Amino acid sequence: MRRHVRILLLGEPKVGKTSLIMSLVGEEFPNEVPARAEEITIPADVTPEKVPTHIVDYSETEQTDEVLRQEIVKANVVCVVYDVTQEETIDKIRTKWIPLVNGGVEKGSKIPIILVGNKSDLRTGSSMENILPIMNQFSEIETCVECSARNLKNISELFYYAQKAVLHPTAPLYDPEDKQLKPLCVRALSRIFSISDQDNDRVLSDAELNCFQKSCFGNPLAPQALEDVKTVVWKNTSDGILDNGLTLNGFLFLNTLFIQRGRHETTWTILRRFGYDDTLELTDDYLYPQLRVPLGCSTELNHLGHQFLQKVFDKYDEDRDHALSPAELKNLFSVFPYMPWGAEAYSSVPTSELNHVSLHAFICQWTLWAYLDVQRCMEYLGYLGYPILTDQESQTTAITVSREKALDLEKGQTQRSVFLCKVIGPRGTGKSAFLQAFLGQSFTKPECCPARPSLYAVNTVQVANQEKYLILFEVDVETEFLKASDAACDVACLMYDFTDPNSFSYCASIYKQHFMNSSIPCVLVCCKADEVEVPQQYGMNPAEFCYKHRLPVPIRHSSLRPTAQIYSKLAWAAMYPHLNGSDMSSTSFWLRVTLGAAMVTVLGFALYRAFARSK
């Protein structure tokens, strides 16, 4: 919404422009007025819409045509004043003033105009019959009002209408010629309807209408008011009410009615609550609320985010088979301006053969969005109406920003539940198969199908009886490992090929170049372990290399018989980076002793409790 309003008064000489302004400000009719009143600013708190308002006078004798043109460009709304007793001042509205106002701005963005008939104290009848044809001719005329500066009649109303024309403009919402809502407005209201239809039955029930009313206007509708609204819709439309609920057509009809009755502010309140600006686009403030993510911190969905997404999932799982079919998924994303879930998303998460998305896969994808690009994740939550449906300030409450990684390292523990693992190795080693196996899918040979559209694979793993999300990212070493930041991740999985004698030297050089002096834990994985081993062409064998660099011994992996353990080990290494180089099997003696002591304490406590209870 605009932060201020600038009202310009135009019209023939002596119609009473200056007098109107002076009457408003002084609350009495001035017998003597200057040719032109100084620009005045009405402070926000005394205006009905709480927006500072500037009122600008015009005088032909004091201002040149050029200055007039500049004033028109600056104005947000123009009041064209005429004298109700002088017909020629009415004729000039059509022949002079409206063309002048329209000429001052680019085509398409017309300034709203209000016609003001002054000196109503001098005439008994109304000037309406002369005014109506003009109003019909120019759609930019918002309204007309008859007033008297002398009697102070309708003066504050006039300025209120002017303010309203700017703050709640008709033009973006309604086409007065076709007498219907404009397409962009229909699009926005349809999205609002879908979001508010929480059980997805295509009608708004009483409970849903109350929720909607409460989040837009702060209070629920009285039961009688609710019935009255539905009766109006029922009487005036053939399909506005269904099963005692409001259909989309009924909802659109109601909004058309508000606008036709001059209550645009009602529709605008709804639109603004759902994040729309004056051009009916979602504002950046709504889509991208401020969230501070310091360097070294990561972002993940918290329980509020999970809860909300689970609700959304259930809403669109219409056949209740605990999976979203491609059609159901399309419905879910119908409130987005574009489809965010394509081939890439399908191949990043564990999906069934028919591309059905389980709740687990759905949450995995959202976890990936939240981790990789939290702004985008918040944008998506915004499209789904998160802040409105959960009654939260903004999407930021669905996100947890983790503690800095350096602090985690220092404390030797982490609260995080999402970890990024970069899978690095020469081409053809089996990285894609490794990712595919993580999703529980067998790897189809590249020659029979196109490359995986996604370089990511997300799934959950068990680490020390806790469920954690692990994101695998396949690194194309030849193109992506150019700068140091390319190595950044929570754990690096260096992969070599059992059957390729040159593959280990490649891993070793990547390790030395990027990871040897970093705090990122590394795990070596030896692929194609079901085949016959070929000695590696390198100064020392892989096991010696690991021993020398205090790395855990290479883990053998076969995509024909993948095991879940290997992925848990990666997550484990990411969770406990300070234990880097100390695979549990080769944990140093002292470490094992301390971990052992912790076990005894826990066990001791459990025994104590059991003992205390039995007493």
What does the binding site for ligand GTP look like in residue numbers (CB under 6 A)?
13-19, 33, 35, 59-60, 118-119, 121-122, 148-150
Strands 299-301 and 40-42: unpaired
**Residue number, 118 or 402, with CB nearest to Mg ion:** 118
Task: Tell me the CA distances in angstroms from 359 to 43, 201, 352, 376, 468, one per residue in order.
Answer: 53, 21, 12, 20, 16
In this chain, which residue has its C-beta nearest to ligand GTP? 16
- Supply φ then ψ for residue 247, to 5 degrees: -85, 175
Cα–Cα distance measured from residue 593 to residue 442, given in angstroms and rounded to the nearest whole number:
41
Interaction with Mg ion in 20-79: which residues (CB under 5 A)? 59
Which listed option, ligand GTP, Mg ion, none, makes contact with residue 16 (CB within 5 to 8 Å by class)? Answer: ligand GTP
Distance CA 336, CA 339 (A): 7
Q: Can you tell me the distance from the alpha carbon of 24 to that of 116, in angstroms, rounded to the nearest whole number? A: 14
State the minimum distance, in angstroms, from the CB of residue 23 to ligand GTP. 8
Q: Residue 121 or 265: which CB sits closer to ligand GTP?
A: 121
Contact with Mg ion (CB under 5 A): which of 6, 18, 145, 400?
Answer: 18
Length of the chain: 615
Name the H helices within 49-111: 65-74, 87-92, 98-103
Q: Which of 183, 166, 164, 182 is nearest to 174 (CA)?
A: 182
Per-residue CA distances from 347 to 33, 355, 420, 439, 516 (Å): 76, 9, 17, 9, 32
Q: Choose the contact partner of 34 out of Mg ion, ligand GTP, none; CB within 5 to 8 A by kind.
A: none
Q: How far is the CB of 102 from Mg ion (least distance, A)?
A: 23
Q: How far is the CB of 8 from ligand GTP (least distance, A)?
A: 13
Give the integer Cα–Cα distance in Å for 12 and 65: 14
Orientation of helix 155-167 relative to helix 264-273, angle to 10°: 40
290: left (phi over 0), alpha (psi -120 to 50) or beta: beta
Cβ atoms of 574 and 419 closer than 8 Å: yes
> Min. distance of Cβ 73 from ligand GTP in angstroms?
20
> Nearer Cβ to ligand GTP, position 144 or 457?
144
Q: Which of residues 544-573 bind Mg ion (CB under 5 A)?
A: none
Residue 199 Ramachandran class (φ > 0 left, ψ -120 to 50 alpha, else beta): alpha
- Judged by beta carbon, residue 152 or residue 257, the one nearer ligand GTP is 152
Q: What is the smallest separation between the CB atom of 14 and Mg ion, expressed in angstroms?
A: 8
Least CB distance to Mg ion at residue 58 (A): 8
- The entry of Mg ion, ligand GTP, none that residue 574 binds, CB within 5 to 8 Å by partner kind: none
- Are the beta carbons of 325 and 356 closer than 8 angstroms? yes
Residues touching Mg ion: how many (CB under 5 A)? 3
Question: In this chain, which residue has its C-beta nearest to Mg ion?
Answer: 18
The minimum distance between CB 71 and ligand GTP, in angstroms, equals 14
Question: Of 33 and 523, which has the nearer Cβ to ligand GTP?
Answer: 33
Shortest approach of ligand GTP to residue 85 CB, angstroms?
9
For residue 425, the partner it binds in ligand GTP, Mg ion, none, with Cβ less than 5 to 8 A by kind, is none
Smallest distance, Mg ion to C-beta of residue 75, A: 17
Residue with smaller CB distance to ligand GTP, 92 or 182: 92
19 binds, among ligand GTP, Mg ion, none (CB under 5 to 8 A by kind): ligand GTP
CB closer to ligand GTP, 65 vs 353 = 65
Whose tokens are 């399908």? That residue is: 346
Answer with the entry of Mg ion, ligand GTP, none that 84 interacts with (C-beta below 5 to 8 A by kind). Answer: none
Cβ-contact 540, 504 below 8 angstroms = no
Name which of 13 and 337 has its Cβ closer to ligand GTP. Answer: 13
With CB cut-offs between 5 and 8 Å by kind, which of Mg ion, ligand GTP, none does residue 121 bind?
A: ligand GTP
Pick the closer one to Mg ion by CB: 19 or 454: 19
Paired strand residues for 264: none
Please classify residue 586 by burial: count the beta carbons closer than 10 Å to its beta carbon, then call 0-12 exposed, 13-18 middle and 19+ buried: middle
Q: Which is nearer to Mg ion, 36 or 578 (CB)?
A: 36
Contact positions toward Mg ion, by CB under 5 A? 17-18, 59
